[in-house]
């Protein structure tokens, strides 16, 4: 009567996991952010914030670029990191299911057959005679470790938390990859525009050099003016190769994100002028950010696992109860006849009395790990809120930067045109044209960079808010336990084919 009472009253020792509360703040920045200012260039429209709005699972489509969306889809489909994260999730789920088996009785079947030959000489009889006989045995053994203190259940809980960790690691991998693809494609477009602008300026300066050379040939200007223009043209040409190098390396990086090799680059690219800047940006409430960020959810799952592990350590300090039994038959005759039946039933309790403090200090190490993981969880939350605040500030100030750069580009273009006209009339020396050309080149390249920054800032905001993974399904069949693969089946055929 005592044992059923113990089983009914049994519980899982150790702390029960409770998810930490969200930070008690009502905003990501000290003051409420207003809509950004606008600039009279492509991608220069104002952006406002819709507080509390949900985030699209396919946020990159808001840029309205089919090529950009195609890049993201290809990356998600082909990148090995995403595939590895799918299998890591399946691994964790299978491990949790394997541990659940420990909650059930363990049944083992045993069988034996033996053929012996005996001689009567061993008993002193002579002449000796030999006889041959067979012995057979068959039994079923059952053992059941009573999970009175919940140690096994805590182990299952810890492995399920590990599976949750892998699920959110998959989302973190997906989020990082999609954001990196978008940023790489925008940077690629920006470098192309910078190269185009530099080539146009080089052509204009080369034409100007031809005119200056002609004027020198007819004696209208001095040799110093020709040399100055040659130096300016050489400086402009010197800026082209580094941009081309950056573009080549950026293409290699983009191909890697797509799961291609550099030699498999087919030349597809996004054009900066074709991108559309979302005018209304969703902004999650601070209280919901901790449920949206995959890295925070990973830290939470790790904390959950650490909590359950503390329970395992406490359960190991307590007595362990086991029930066991067997039923079978053994003899030279027909098995399972009444005179060959053997059976047994037993129960046991074990408790370590002296172990040098091993179990106690193991439990204390688990407690310290829990405290460490709690601190790391808090650090992940602080970093997440910083990421959002940084993105919001970047959107705000880079909008002002683009407006200033657009104004600077227009002013330097007007200044260059005026300097050329004044030089034609002899009102200013040629050095004024040189300075105006250099100022215009710098201003135009800076405007292109500021233009691209508006798009990358927007992508960074979506990434910092979690990327909307809860509004799409990222798990593939590879993340789920296989359905009837065969008891002794190995890896899937397509995996084997990929290794050949």
- The span from the CA of 130 to the CA of 123, in Å, is 12
pLDDT at res. 124: 57
Token pair 């001095």 is at which residue? 222
Q: What is the pLDDT of residue 195?
A: 96
Rounded Cα gap, residues 394 and 52, in angstroms: 20
Residue with tokens 């950010």: 289
* Tokens linked to 159: 């492995």
What is the model's pLDDT at position 400? 95
Q: At what angle do helices 223-238 and 151-217 cross, to 10 degrees?
A: 160
pLDDT at 62: 96
Query: Would you say 468 and 55 are in contact if contact means Cβ atoms under 8 Å apart?
Result: yes
Cis check for the bond before 444: say yes or no (omega within 30 of 0).
Answer: no
Cα–Cα distance, 250 to 237 (Å, whole number): 21
Distance CA 293, CA 79 (A): 22
| C-alpha distances in Å from residue 451, one per residue of 115, 167, 218, 378, 406 | 89, 36, 44, 36, 9
Q: Residues 98-131: pLDDT tens digits?
A: 999 999 999 888 888 777 766 655 555 556 567 6
**Residue 336: its pLDDT value, please?**
58
Q: How confident is the model at residue 3 (pLDDT cuts 50, 70, 90)?
A: very low
Q: What 3-state DSSP class applies to 159?
A: helix
Confidence of residue 1 (pLDDT cuts 50, 70, 90): very low
Supply the pTM of this predicted model. 0.88
The stretch 479-488 carries a mean pLDDT of 81
What mean pLDDT, rounded, does the chain reach?
A: 89
pLDDT in tens, 255-276: 999 999 999 999 999 999 999 9
Question: For position 329, what pLDDT does the model report?
Answer: 72
Nearest to 391 by CA among 22, 23, 33: 33
Q: What is the pLDDT of residues 309-362, one digit of tens each?
A: 999 999 999 998 988 888 877 666 555 566 677 778 888 888 888 888 999 999
pLDDT of residue 275: 95
- The percentage of the chain sitting over the pLDDT mark of 70, rounded to a whole number, equals 91
Q: What is the DSSP string of 436-494?
A: HHHHHHHHHHHHHHHHHHHHHHHHHHHHHTTTTGGGS----GGGS--SS--TT--S-HH
Mean pLDDT of 79-106: 94
Instruction: Give the H/E segment covering residue 182.
Output: helix 151-217
pLDDT reported for residue 7? 43
Burial 132-146 (b: 16+ CB within 10 A, else e): eeeebbbbeeeebbb
Q: CB within 8 A of 334, min separation 6: which ones?
A: 340
Residue 127: what pLDDT?
60
pLDDT in tens, 457-473: 999 999 999 999 999 99
Nearest Cα to Cα of residue 138 among 116, 115, 113, 114: 113
284 contacts 292 by C-beta, under 8 angstroms: yes
Tokens linked to 355: 């172990």
Residue 311 token pair: 């329970």
């Amino acid at each position: 009567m005592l044992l059923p009472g113990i089983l009914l009253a049994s519980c899982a020792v150790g702390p029960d996991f409770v998810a930490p509360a969200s930070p008690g703040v009502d905003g990501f920045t000290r003051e409420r952010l207003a809509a950004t200012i606008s600039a009279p260039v492509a991608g220069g429209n104002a952006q406002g914030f819709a507080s509390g709005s949900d985030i699209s699972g396919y946020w990159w489509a808001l840029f309205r670029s089919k090529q950009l969306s195609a890049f993201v889809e290809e990356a998600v489909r082909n990148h090995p990191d995403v595939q590895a994260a799918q299998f890591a999730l399946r691994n964790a789920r299978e491990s949790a299911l394997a541990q659940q088996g420990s909650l059930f009785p363990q049944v083992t079947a045993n069988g034996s057959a033996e053929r012996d030959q005996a001689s009567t000489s061993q008993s002193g009889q002579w002449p000796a005679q030999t006889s041959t006989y067979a012995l057979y045995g068959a039994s079923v053994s059952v053992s059941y470790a009573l999970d009175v203190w919940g140690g096994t259940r805590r182990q299952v809980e810890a492995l399920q938390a590990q599976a949750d960790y892998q699920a959110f690691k998959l989302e973190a991998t997906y989020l990082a990859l999609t954001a990196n693809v978008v940023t790489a494609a925008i940077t690629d477009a920006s470098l192309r525009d910078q190269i185009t602008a530099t080539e146009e300026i080089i052509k204009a300066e080369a034409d100007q050099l031809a005119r200056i050379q002609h004027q020198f040939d007819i004696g209208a200007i001095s040799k110093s003016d020709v040399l100055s223009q040659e130096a300016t043209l050489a400086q402009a040409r010197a800026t082209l190769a580094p941009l081309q190098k950056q573009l080549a390396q950026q293409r290699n990086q983009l191909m890697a994100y797509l799961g291609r090799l550099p030699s498999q680059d087919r030349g597809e690219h996004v054009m900066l002028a074709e991108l559309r800047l979302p005018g209304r940006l969703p902004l999650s409430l601070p209280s919901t950010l901790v449920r949206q960020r995959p890295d925070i959810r990973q830290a939470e799952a790790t904390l959950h696992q650490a909590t359950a592990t503390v329970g395992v350590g406490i359960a190991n300090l307590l007595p362990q109860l086991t029930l066991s039994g067997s039923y079978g038959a053994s003899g030279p005759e027909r098995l399972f006849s009444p005179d060959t039946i053997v059976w047994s039933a037993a129960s046991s309790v074990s408790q370590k009395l002296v172990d040098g403090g091993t179990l106690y200090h193991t439990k204390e190490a688990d407690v310290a790990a829990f405290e460490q993981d709690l601190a790391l969880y808090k650090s992940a939350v602080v970093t997440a809120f910083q990421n959002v605040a940084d993105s919001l500030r970047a959107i705000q100030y880079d909008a002002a930067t683009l407006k200033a750069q657009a104004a600077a580009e227009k002013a330097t273009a007007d200044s260059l045109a005026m300097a050329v006209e004044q030089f034609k009339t002899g009102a200013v020396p040629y050095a004024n044209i040189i300075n105006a050309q250099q100022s215009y080149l710098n201003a135009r390249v800076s405007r292109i960079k500021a233009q691209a920054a508006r798009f990358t800032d927007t992508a960074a905001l979506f990434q910092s808010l979690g990327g909307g993974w809860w509004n799409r399904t990222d798990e593939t069949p590879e993340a789920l336990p296989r359905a009837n693969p065969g008891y002794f089946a190995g890896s899937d055929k397509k995996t084997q084919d990929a290794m050949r």
